[in-house]
Amino acid sequence: MNVEHGKVEHASVCPLDCPDTCSLTVTVDEGRIVGIRGSRANPYTDGVICAKVPKAYPEFVHGERRLRTPLKRVGAKGESRFERISWDEALDTIYARTSAVIAEHGPEAVMPLNYGGPHGLLAAGSMDLRFFHRMGASLLDRKPLCGGIRTEAWIGTYGTVTGIKPEQIEASKLIVAWGNNVTWSNLHITPLINKARRAGGKLVVVDPRRTKIAEQADLHLALRPGTDVVLAWAVAADLERRGALDRAFIQRWVSGFEEFMALARPWTIERAAETCGLAVADVARFAEWYATISPASITVGNGLERNRNGGSGIRAVFALPALAGKFGPVGGGLINGASFAFPKTPQKLARPDLVPPGTRMLNIVDVGTHLTSGTLKPPLKALFIYNHNAVVVHPDQNRMRRGLSREDLFTVGIEVAMTDTMLYCDVVLPACTHFEHHDIFAAYGQHWLQRAEPVIPPQGEALSNMEIFRRLAARFGYTEPCFTATDHELIDDAIDPGDVRLGGVRPSQLPTNKALAMTVEGKDAVLFTNVFPKTESGKVELVSPYLDKKYGARLPSYRTLSSTYPLTLISPASDQRITSTFGGTTSNAGIPPLEMHPDDARARNLQNGQSVRVWNELGEVRLPLRITDDVPRGVVSSLKGAWFTTTNNLQTVSALAPATHADICEGACYNDARVDVALAT
């Protein structure tokens, strides 16, 4: 803690759903956050943070939309009419209404609907999950909404092991950023890429959009969404044709080589270029560089998973370094699997042992359908929505909104700010931000463990997620000791206190001004040097028994998508929000434009800046048009996560995304949205 002119500086950590998990210095003046900047406590993030956090966080914590007291709905769902109530009345109402649902339909008629708002291990899922597990509520499979496809593809190919640290990119001579807009969504990789390039390294970006990093790349492959698997197969086949396969490595470490290559071989450079919408020379150059330049690293984002072939695309990309023998030297291999570097103990933290045997699990992508179809037995009759702006984020948004509008659905909302989703809740409980409670932070994009303490008191009557569920557990009569665990005890349940890297310090006592390196016996993890695949065979599984058993997906596949709508709509991340977080702040008041290639605009007689309607069978969105060749022909793009305040018909781009399932993980297929565009009238 640092004190200057009455202002106090505290150490903290960014909790947002971002791979970087920056360490922060937070300036507090008389109980208010007045400044946030990067700190050097985490050597990876090293004092640098994105612009949105200092800009939007103080308003998010202290602004008009902040929830400070419990509320009950007094208007129609979605109408935004609430009255203040006491905590006692809120807990009594929740207990009475939920108990009535359980009495009539059983506990599976109740479900948490939560996702990745805060990423502290406690706020993300600790006492809340204990509570729902003990109740016997329906389990929610959250991972299909985002990131799950990539994780399952990784586990299915390499197992629960970590890839290389992002810091190693610095030593790469070839870097491939595949579906990863690093400037906006993986910020700290950018200076590492720049260093590598200054030392003569090359950068290839694979992304349908010409992002800032794509503009700077030595080669930008603006492929058609959903064709990543074809491009990766073509590179694999070209490696073989060139004699650039690492036969010795494959012999020792790869299983399923022949079956994988049988799928890859028909994809010549020319055929792949045509399918992916790329120039033959560009695909050939990429394949040549990947065959001839080492060390070569690949960083994969979530962009390529958001379609029907998402798992296949990522699996085929993950196969490339194994086929080309890229593992071993510093700067070679795959940057992925960082979350497996941490000694997390979810069994102790979330207590899945409390779940009654046979309790059903529902896929988060299907919740809108379950709420509206009338076929689910027992039906969903009570939802607890937290850490999640469901009505903005879910695909098939109109269906989700219809589901949340059901008068017979009792909905509890737990949130920091009044979001579009909270407007559909019967009781709204005010939650603390992570600046107001203790938490511990692993990461999914880097290898540093961090702890944070509160830097300001809870605002108004807000409580942490942990305290809210402690009180709910008490009100529901759950008397097991796990429901009275303190936040420090929860931190010690979240991370293995016996892990040697903690040096005997309990996780709850780790210093807050210094991140702890998640090394392997004191050294950085390097796949095939000091860490090895944790698959069934102990090899890189290009044919995956794991994915076969779970999803019937032994091998990657390529599925085409036919539609009567001519344009593919993609909805990438914004640099002003983390999906929908911060959507209600002043910096997010504008309507995100629809980007369209000049040829597609000309064919529709559209002019830059006009208001257009974008529609398909699921909905219609009105957006200002931005004509640009940053997107290829046939593809339109608009940033995800904007709130309803930016619309005049309560529909954002999520309204146009189908709630279909990808090839693995039953994952969401946002980029399978097919649309047409015309002048708005």
Q: Would you say 416 and 15 are in contact if contact means Cβ atoms under 8 Å apart?
A: no
Q: Please, which residues bridge with residue 594 across strands? A: 625
Of 16 and 324, the one with the shorter C-beta distance to ligand SF4 is: 16
The residues, ordered by sequence, that sit 6+ positions from 636 with a Cβ below 8 Å of its Cβ are: 567, 568, 569, 570, 594, 595, 596, 600, 614, 675, 677
Does the footprint of ligand SF4 cover residue 627 (CB under 6 A)?
A: no
Does the footprint of ligand SF4 cover residue 635 (CB under 6 A)?
A: no
Angle in degrees, 0-180, between the axes of helices 310-324 and 228-242, rounded to the nearest 10: 20
Q: Would you say 385 and 395 are in contact if contact means Cβ atoms under 8 Å apart?
A: no
Of 50 and 455, the one with the shorter C-beta distance to ligand SF4 is: 50
The site map against ligand SF4 for 134-173 (x = CB under 6 A) is ----------------------------------------
Of 12 and 508, the one with the shorter C-beta distance to ligand SF4 is: 12
State the Cα–Cα distance between residues 357 and 366, nearest whole angstrom: 22
Of 124 and 155, the one with the shorter C-beta distance to ligand SF4 is: 124
By three-state DSSP, how is residue 203 classified? strand
Write the Ramachandran bin of 588: left for phi over 0, alpha for psi from -120 to 50, otherwise beta.
Answer: alpha
Does the footprint of ligand SF4 cover residue 192 (CB under 6 A)?
A: no
CA-based R_g, the chain, Å: 25
Site for ligand SF4 (CB under 6 A): which residue of 11, 12, 20, 166?
A: 20
The residues, ordered by sequence, that sit 6+ positions from 164 with a Cβ below 8 Å of its Cβ are: 297, 331, 332, 333, 334, 335, 524, 525, 526, 527
Stretch that binds ligand SF4, among 11-19, 217-225, 245-253, 306-314 (CB under 6 A): 11-19
Does the footprint of ligand SF4 cover residue 338 (CB under 6 A)?
A: no
Stretch that binds ligand SF4, among 12-20, 104-112, 140-148, 294-302 (CB under 6 A): 12-20
Does the footprint of ligand SF4 cover residue 443 (CB under 6 A)?
A: no
State the Cα–Cα distance between residues 650 and 392, nearest whole angstrom: 9
| Shortest distance (Å) from residue 458 CB to ligand SF4 | 22
| Shortest distance (Å) from residue 452 CB to ligand SF4 | 13
Largest CA distance in the chain: 72
Q: Which of 88, 295, 113 is nearest to 201 (CA)?
A: 295
Angle in degrees, 0-180, between the axes of helices 269-276 and 280-292, rounded to the nearest 10: 120
Does the footprint of ligand SF4 cover residue 387 (CB under 6 A)?
A: no
Stretch that binds ligand SF4, among 47-55, 106-114, 502-510, 544-552 (CB under 6 A): 47-55
Does the footprint of ligand SF4 cover residue 439 (CB under 6 A)?
A: no
Site for ligand SF4 (CB under 6 A): which residue of 11, 22, 527, 547?
A: 22
Residues 200-239 that bind ligand SF4 (CB under 6 A): none
Of 194 and 628, the one with the shorter C-beta distance to ligand SF4 is: 194
Instruction: Find how far residue 638's CA is from the centre of its chain.
Output: 18
Site for ligand SF4 (CB under 6 A): which residue of 187, 223, 452, 515?
A: 187
The DSSP line for 75-111 is SSTTS--EEE--HHHHHHHHHHHHHHHHHHH-GGGEE
Stretch that binds ligand SF4, among 13-21, 141-149, 353-361, 595-603 (CB under 6 A): 13-21
One-letter amino acid identity for 123?
Answer: A
State the Cα–Cα distance between residues 498 and 199, nearest whole angstrom: 41
Site for ligand SF4 (CB under 6 A): which residue of 28, 33, 41, 53?
A: 53
Stretch that binds ligand SF4, among 14-22, 159-167, 395-403, 513-521 (CB under 6 A): 14-22
Does the footprint of ligand SF4 cover residue 282 (CB under 6 A)?
A: no
Does the footprint of ligand SF4 cover residue 423 (CB under 6 A)?
A: no
Binding site for ligand SF4 (CB under 6 A): 14, 16, 18, 20-22, 49-50, 53, 187, 578
